[in-house]
Structure 1
Amino acid sequence: MTQVSAHDDDALGDHDAVGLVAALHEGAVSVPEVVEAAIRRVERVDPLLGAMAFTAYDRARVEARDPRGGFFAGVPTVVKDNVDVAGMPTREGTDAWVARPAPADGDFARMYLATGLLSLGKSQLSEFGFSAAAEHPRLGAVRSPWSTEHVAGASSAGSAALVASGALPIAHANDGGGSIRIPAAVNGLVGLKPTRGRLAQDRALREMPVRIVSDGVLTRSVRDTAAFLREAEHVYRNLSLPPVGDLTRPGRKRLRVALNTSGAGGVGASPEVRELTLRTAVLLEELGHHVEEVEAPTPPGFRDDFLLYWASLALVLLRTGRRQHGRSWDPDRLDHLTRGLARHATRNLHRLPGAVRRLRRSSVLLARHHEAHDVTLTPTLAHETPLVGHLDPTQPYETVIDRLTTWVAFTPLQNATGEPAISLPLATSAQGLPVGMMFGAAAGHEAVLLELAYELEEASPFARIGGSVGG
């Protein structure tokens, strides 16, 4: 396996984002030095990882001379290329149209950058985020820095590859079927999908019939994720949810943990992944938590309903492409997965209203589950990270969708219910690749997940590429 590390003896050092903020406040480094170091690191690793969709290095250098305020002032990052940032094109991982620079920041980017984070550009994703592997027909795959023979996982793959390699301390991700948690699991990162509505969100996502997408970040430490939610809450506060607040240490409460490795639709974990999940359950019990194995809390037919709703999004994109993108729109340049999803939706449109109703009701079922259990433990993914090419979207649709739904068997439930879930890098496969463990909680209970994550990070320190993470 070929590993890629960006770590160097420069202004970024081995700092996570919080550690970098401390170094900046102490005057040990300056924002221009940090940004220049990040640019050099990204330039060094991106030819091997394929993580960047658009670079804005000169703009970042200018902003570094007078960074906007906020806790993360001057900390370098990237924004995933399905969110509008003023002056940058939003390409959505596709060649189906010619993207022009966005006239203004979208609602999420406005909130994200108001925390002080400074973007070097846009990170690469799978076409429209539909696949769990960012493999572009023309540009090739986004590769894992743990092993460039393997995919970096899901549509936030570009962001994940840059953070895991050490090129950046923190990056934007979003999650409509697992795309914060999947790349976190594959790349040995912390990936929290927040509760629906926790963070500011672009209008198109707010208006979806089932609001399955949540934005967030990928980080190398629990404290970075906790600090981001704290700072985001200073910019945008959803009054219908309890505040996350300033979380800096493990919680004291011992939790009731529901363990499941069977997944949705009878698609369960591989023997190796199940064994690693059981080891995590043992660790929880050693820490004093109560673990009980339960049946998967998924409604009947959930897998088919979620796939149909997912497919309907592709159909909408296909039918509105010309109106949205003008004469440059060329549907023949869409990949086989996008077109296959649209065909699946067309053939099953009569079933879509029922699927939407059932997906909306799934939150009721999971809320009842969390009356008896504080946290649910599952593997983030059903089996080990696939090789590049396994989910290549130029293959027949039937091949790709079968492989995709078999691998991504656990993450979509919280997208339907809107509940929070976090993937933590608590295990390693026999191949030496990260394997994520996922913890879900009731809506609004990110604090429970973060306090548990702090505890597990202390008890079982996360493996890293290159240097250690910290101050």
Structure 2
Amino acid sequence: MNRVHAFSDDALGELDAVGLVEALHAGEVSAPEVVEAAVSRVERVDPDLNAVAYRAFERARLEARDPHAGFFSGVPTLIKDNVAVEGMPTQEGTDSYVGRPQPRDGDFARMFRATGLVLLGKTQLSEYGFSGAAEHPRLGAVRSPWSTDHVAGASSAGSAALVAAGAVPIAHANDGGGSIRIPAAVNGLVGLKPTRDRTAQDKLMRDMPIRIVSDGVVTRSVRDTAAFFRESEKVYRALEMPPIGDVRRPGKRRLRVALNTAGMGMAASPEVAALTEQVAASLEALGHRVEPVEALMVPDSFSEDFLLYWSMLAMFLVRTGRRRHGRTWAPQNLDNLTLGLDRHCRRNLHRLPGTIRRLKATKQLSVAFHQHHDVVLTPTLATRTPEVGHLDPTQDYDTIMDRLMAWVAFTPLQNVTGDPAISLPLATTAEGLPQGMMFGAGAGREATLLELAYELEEAFPWARIQD
């Protein structure tokens, strides 16, 4: 395996984002120094990782001289290339149109930047975020720094690869079927998908019939993730749910944990199931009560229903492409996964009303489930990380979809219910790659997940790429 990382004794060192804030406040480093170090690190690793979609290095250097106020003031980061940022194009991982610089920040970017983070640019994703692996027909794959023979996972792959490689300590990710949690699991990171509507979102995401997409970050430490959501709440507060608050340490309450490795139509591999059971045993050793459950809270139709809803999003993007992108619209450049999803939806349009009705009903099923279980433990992904090419979007649609469904069998649940879930780097496969473990909780219970994550991080420190 070919590992790639940029950790060194420069201004970033091995600091996480909170540690970098402390160093900035102490005067040990300056914002221009840490931004310059991050630019150098990105340039060093990106030829191997293929993670950057758009570079805004000069803009970041200028901003570092007088960074925005906020807790993370001066901390370098990148934002995923499917949100609007003033002055930067939005390309969404596709060659089907020519992205133009945006006239203003979208709602999420406005919130994100208000925390003080300095944007170095935008990160690469799979076409429109549909695939579990960011493999581009022309640009190639985003690769994991843990092994460049393997994919970096899902549509937030670029962000996760750069954080794991040490180029930046924190980066934006969003999640419509697992794309915060999947790349976190693949790259040995912390990835929390928050409760639906917890963070500000751009209009296209808000207008979905079921708002399955949530925005957050990928980080190397629990405290960085907790700090991001604490600071985000100071900018944008979801009044209909309890605040996450300032979570800084493990919780004292022992939790009722439901254990499941069967997934939704596709069980975990024997290796991954065994790793998950080892984590369950560790939880019991810490005093939590673990109860195996044969099935999660969804009907047998869930996987098919989610696929049809997912394909509806593809149909919308394909059928409105000319109106949204004008003369630059080039549908012949769409990859086979996007085109196949579009066909799937058009052939099954008559089923959409029932599909949406059943998916919306899962919220109440989740409420009932979490009356008896504080959290549910599953593997984040059903199998070990695939090699580059396994999910190549130039393959025929059926091949891609069969392989994708076999890998991503656990994460879509919380996108539909709207509940929070976190992937933690608690396991390692026999070949030495990270294998994330996922904990889900009831709506609004991010604090519970963060308290548990702190406890597990202290008790079982995760592997570091630089070691």
Write out per-residue CA displacement over residues 108-165 of structure 1, whole angstroms, 9 at most, x where no aligned residue. 0000000000100000000000000000000000000000000000000000000000
Match of 1:172, SS?
Answer: strand
Structure 2 counterpart of 1:57, one-letter code: F
For residues 301-340 of structure 1, the aligned pairs below 5 Å read 301-340=301-340
Match of 1:371, SS?
Answer: coil
Q: For residue 295 of structure 2, what is the aligned residue in structure 1?
A: 296
Structure 2 counterpart of 1:436, one-letter code: G
Structure 2 counterpart of 1:160, one-letter code: A
Write out per-residue CA displacement over residues 297-350 of structure 1, whole angstroms, 9 at most, x where no aligned residue. 222200000000000110011110000000010100000000000000010000
Query: Which structure 1 segments of 5+ residues have no match?
Result: none
Q: For residue 2 of structure 1, what is the aligned residue in structure 2?
A: 2
Q: For residue 277 of structure 2, what is the aligned residue in structure 1?
A: 278
For residues 243-258 of structure 1, the aligned pairs below 5 Å read 243-258=243-258
Identity across the alignment (%): 71
Q: For residue 217 of structure 2, what is the aligned residue in structure 1?
A: 217
Write out per-residue CA displacement over residues 261-282 of structure 1, whole angstroms, 9 at most, x where no aligned residue. 00002x1000000000000000
The structural deviation recorded for 1:296 is 2.2
Q: For residue 183 of structure 1, what is the aligned residue in structure 2?
A: 183
- Compute the RMSD of aligned alpha carbons: 0.5
Q: For residue 264 of structure 2, what is the aligned residue in structure 1?
A: 264
The reply on whether 1:12 has 2:12 as its aligned counterpart is: yes
Q: For residue 65 of structure 1, what is the aligned residue in structure 2?
A: 65
- For residues 412 and 220 of structure 1, the distance between their equivalents in structure 2, rounded to whole angstroms, comes to 23
- For residues 427 and 65 of structure 2, the distance between their equivalents in structure 1, rounded to whole angstroms, comes to 41
Match of 1:217, SS?
Answer: strand
The structural deviation recorded for 1:295 is 2.1
The structural deviation recorded for 1:406 is 0.8
Query: Which structure 2 segments of 5+ residues have no match?
Result: none
- For residues 244 and 16 of structure 1, the distance between their equivalents in structure 2, rounded to whole angstroms, comes to 21
The structural deviation recorded for 1:366 is 1.1
For residues 404-415 of structure 1, the aligned pairs below 5 Å read 404-415=404-415
- For residues 406 and 326 of structure 1, the distance between their equivalents in structure 2, rounded to whole angstroms, comes to 37
Match of 2:218, SS?
Answer: strand
Structure 1 counterpart of 2:387, one-letter code: L
Q: For residue 378 of structure 1, what is the aligned residue in structure 2?
A: 378
The reply on whether 1:195 has 2:209 as its aligned counterpart is: no
For residues 383-398 of structure 1, the aligned pairs below 5 Å read 383-398=383-398
For residues 69-218 of structure 1, the aligned pairs below 5 Å read 69-218=69-218
Write out per-residue CA displacement over residues 149-196 of structure 1, whole angstroms, 9 at most, x where no aligned residue. 000000000000000000100000000000000000000000000000
Match of 1:432, SS?
Answer: coil
TM-score, structure 1 normalization:
0.99
The reply on whether 1:458 has 2:451 as its aligned counterpart is: no
Q: For residue 46 of structure 1, what is the aligned residue in structure 2?
A: 46
1:299·1:365 contact (CA, 8 Å) conserved in 2?
Answer: no
The structural deviation recorded for 1:8 is 1.2
1:145·1:161 contact (CA, 8 Å) conserved in 2?
Answer: yes
The structural deviation recorded for 1:466 is 1.4
Match of 1:2, SS?
Answer: coil
Match of 2:320, SS?
Answer: helix
Match of 2:339, SS?
Answer: helix
Structure 1 runs (4+) greater than 3 angstroms displaced: none
- For residues 425 and 122 of structure 1, the distance between their equivalents in structure 2, rounded to whole angstroms, comes to 25
- For residues 209 and 453 of structure 1, the distance between their equivalents in structure 2, rounded to whole angstroms, comes to 32
Q: For residue 344 of structure 1, what is the aligned residue in structure 2?
A: 344
Write out per-residue CA displacement over residues 74-100 of structure 1, whole angstroms, 9 at most, x where no aligned residue. 100000000000000000000001110
The structural deviation recorded for 1:412 is 0.1
Match of 1:171, SS?
Answer: strand
Write out per-residue CA displacement over residues 187-213 of structure 1, whole angstroms, 9 at most, x where no aligned residue. 000000000011111111011001000
Structure 1 counterpart of 2:309, one-letter code: Y
- For residues 105 and 466 of structure 2, the distance between their equivalents in structure 1, rounded to whole angstroms, comes to 34
The reply on whether 1:238 has 2:250 as its aligned counterpart is: no
Q: For residue 432 of structure 1, what is the aligned residue in structure 2?
A: 432
- For residues 366 and 270 of structure 1, the distance between their equivalents in structure 2, rounded to whole angstroms, comes to 25
- For residues 377 and 21 of structure 1, the distance between their equivalents in structure 2, rounded to whole angstroms, comes to 33
- For residues 84 and 385 of structure 1, the distance between their equivalents in structure 2, rounded to whole angstroms, comes to 30
Write out per-residue CA displacement over residues 418-449 of structure 1, whole angstroms, 9 at most, x where no aligned residue. 00000000000000000000000000000000
Q: For residue 32 of structure 1, what is the aligned residue in structure 2?
A: 32
The structural deviation recorded for 1:367 is 1.1
